[in-house]
Amino acid sequence: MVFQLLQRSSVRAVQQFGKTRWINTSVMALQDYRIETDTFGELKVPSDKYYGAQTMRSQINFPIGGPTERMPKPVVQAMGILKKAAAEVNKEFGLDPKISDAISKAADDVISGKLYDDHFPLVIWQTGSGTQSNMNVNEVISNRAIELLGGKLGSKDPVHPNDHVNKSQSSNDTFPTAIHISVALELNNNLKPAIKILHDALKAKSDEFKDIIKIGRTHTMDAVPLTLGQEFSGYAQQMAYALDRIDACLPRVYELALGGTAVGTGLNTRIGFAEKCAAKIAQLTGLPFVTAPNKFEALAARDAMVEVHGVLNTIAVSLMKIANDIRFLGSGPRCGLGELMLPENEPGSSIMPGKVNPTQCESMTMVAAQVMGNQVAVTVGGSNGHFELNVFKPLVVSNVLRSIRLLSDGSRTFTANCVQGIQANRDRINKIMNESLMLVTALNPHIGYDKAAKIAKTAHKNGTTLKEEAIKLGYLTEEQFAQWVRPQDMLGPK
């Protein structure tokens, strides 16, 4: 029965996919619509939508993935920012102020995000240049501006999506500009604050645990002592470096392709347009955007995004290590390492009563794994810049933005629901440390490596202590052992 239901569901999905073209057009007969045109002809467009024929045609041609695969909201908002900037600069170069001001006001509605849900339906999986999404924005701003001016939606009068909204622009320079704007905003406003919160929490734990001496581990095996604070200081430093890495990649992100138009030559723009637009975008965002010094690189390559995601991948690697360490140190409560007591946030098992799991660590490591997977997609996409244009741009930006969002949300959640509530299990830490055979390392300067090794191996074989075997072997006295094997003296250089 279950198999039959699943089979029917699959058949329906195939049937629906096959009818997608019909659904997108013929269903208009069941609702109000208007006729809009592009260079391919007429199309019916829902009368309550600001988008036009090219957006409608893209929905017909690319029914891939559904709503979860839509062009990311930050990209659409960034397109609104650059369209507003271009309209204001074009006014300086002679565009009718009435049209420019209407475009600018309509762009504000795109920037605010309030039009995203209803008027930007296109998915990532479209033309690799992002042309349909550029036209989606052009059409929405055009029709909204027409509405503001009292005109008729779809008339392209008095505001034309290409001639006015897209004036002095090409999809080939607007979409990479939107990529850089959206990524710069997300790095500065989302990821950096989240990493800072996590860094500060780890630093606070490092300070809190600075006097707790524990055994270290290398190769997952017993090693010499360090403090729990020292161990956590390493985690805090990883996050400090994460912030440094973000700052180091940002200068390339602040370089904008706008003004390069189709292939980087700047055809159909005015001298100074690129520089003025970058300055206007910097003013609108509060970030130090500049025009790219070489528009050919800015259009043909996505190296800056590959660099950004390399930073994100490094942060994911750091977080994977930190989260794994914390969950292993908190393993137990009775049969694991048990050096840390992690916050208990929810029941851990549907069958084992009372079980609580390190779920925040598990969530964080899954986030890290997903970011590492996204790294592959961004690398492949970035490497496919053929001749004058990279045509994997929607793929690249969607993965970069998804990684930023995952790392940002994951870091905040991990901080609030795990790191801030971590406690040290002092009794367990002391017990494990005092049982460790690697405290014998302190004897190396006094009796030599070979004799110290024999003490450790003999104690391990016999199940005795280091002190018992050291005295039995005649290598030192009880007083000497007490003087030389002191964990508190093994925490740094002499």
Annotated catalytic residues are: 219, 349
The rounded distance, in Å, linking the Cα atoms of 371 and 80 is 28
**Secondary structure string (H, E, C) spanning the chain:** CHHHHHHHHHHHHHHHHHCHHHHHHHHHHHCCEEEEEECCEEEEEECCCCCCHHHHHHHHHCCCCCHHHECCHHHHHHHHHHHHHHHHHHHHCCCCHHHHHHHHHHHHHHHHCCCHHHHCCCECCCCCCCHHHHHHHHHHHHHHHHHHCCCCCCCCCCCCHHHHHCCCCCHHHHHHHHHHHHHHHHHHHHHHHHHHHHHHHHHHHHHHCCCCEEEEEECCEEEEEEEHHHHHHHHHHHHHHHHHHHHHHHHHHCEECCCCCCCCCCCCCCCCHHHHHHHHHHHHHCCCCEECCCHHHHHHCCHHHHHHHHHHHHHHHHHHHHHHHHHHHCCCCCCCCCCEECCCCCCCCCCCCCCCCCHHHHHHHHHHHHHHHHHHHHHHHHCCEECCEECCHHHHHHHHHHHHHHHHHHHHHHHHHCHHHCEECHHHHHHHHHHCHHHHHHHHHHHCHHHHHHHHHHHHHHCCCHHHHHHHCCCCCHHHHHHHCCHHHCCCCC
Neighbours of 304 (CB within 10 A): 24
Tokens (6 digits) for 209: 């645990």
Written as one letter, the residue type at 462 is: N
